[in-house]
Chain A
């Protein structure tokens, strides 16, 4: 029996690839929806760069 459609399997494989072949990593980025379903973002959130973490100075980030 196939409880996943081919489209579901393809979507899951894409997510699995995006998380470098780790459901553990995918679950770390996931959260529970209001109906209790585990929601996994299709793409992992990228690690914050130095630019993202730099303090804001007059609406702009001070780099360096």
Chain B
């Protein structure tokens, strides 16, 4: 696998956009709910990365433009032996194939790194602001934004997981405390870990749904169920009173 100069250059130019993408998800994640970001090939990810990179470079170019105007109008500027405008250097290298000095290359990379770092921290700050976080919840979490969360030590969220179907049509279910849960980028539940778990059976009849407790001699301290064994899942918040 060989990396062409254009590919490396493209990645460098997209770095601020990727930083903005990371900042949106890192800053928007609040509370215990975690969800993986959308895959890089998704429209949402591409939009955030490309538009974010465009805005970051626009701001970067604007800074150099302001500097040029300020210096051209007689402002106190430090004279250097190279062109400090990283974008001018970039176009010279990429389009005109002109040689660049070490200082120009350093200036270009420093500008991209500084722009990438600033993009990440500023975006994370904005995404973490309460008003923005509320607006982003639906985008970041999808249906998970509405999942109940235990709000205190005297509350817990129980899950009822319907799993395997037996030969006679009876469903095996598990009820327990949600110890952990993972989802994929499409917000599908990929695994759930239940603690203090009880098994039950569910049978759909003409007269209704019958729930029957499984006869067990011991409880299940912890039960891990992966996606293939989760047919349906329901959550319920319960409160404990002395």
Contacts and interface: CB of A to CB of B under 8 A. Distances in A.
A39 B33 contact: no
Interface residues of A, number: 27
Interface in A17-55: 17, 21-24, 30, 33, 37-43
Contacts of B175: 23
Interface string B85-121: 0000000000000000000000000000000000000
B236 interface: yes
Nearest to B238: A38
Nearest to B216: A21
Question: Taking each of B33, B148, B150, B240, which has the highest tally of chain A beta carbons within 10 Å of its own beta carbon?
Answer: B240
A21 to B, nearest CB: 3
Interface stretch (B39-47, B123-131, B176-184): B176-184
B238 A30 contact: yes
A16 B152 CA distance: 18
A48 B175 CA distance: 29
The size bracket of the interface on B is: 35 or more
Contacts of A16: 177, 196, 219
Given A1-B33, A3-B150, A37-B237, A8 B182 contact: no
Contact of B181 (A1, A8, A24): A1
A12 B34 CA distance: 22
A21 B178 contact: no
B190 to A, nearest CB: 11
B157 interface: yes
A41 B180 contact: no
Contacts of A23: 158, 175-176, 196, 198
Given A4-B157, A12-B156, 13 more contacts: A1-B35, A2-B32, A2-B179, A3-B235, A5-B153, A8-B177, A9-B177, A12-B240, A21-B219, A22-B219, A30-B238, A39-B240, A41-B240
3 A-B pairs with least C-beta separation: A21-B219, A7-B153, A16-B196
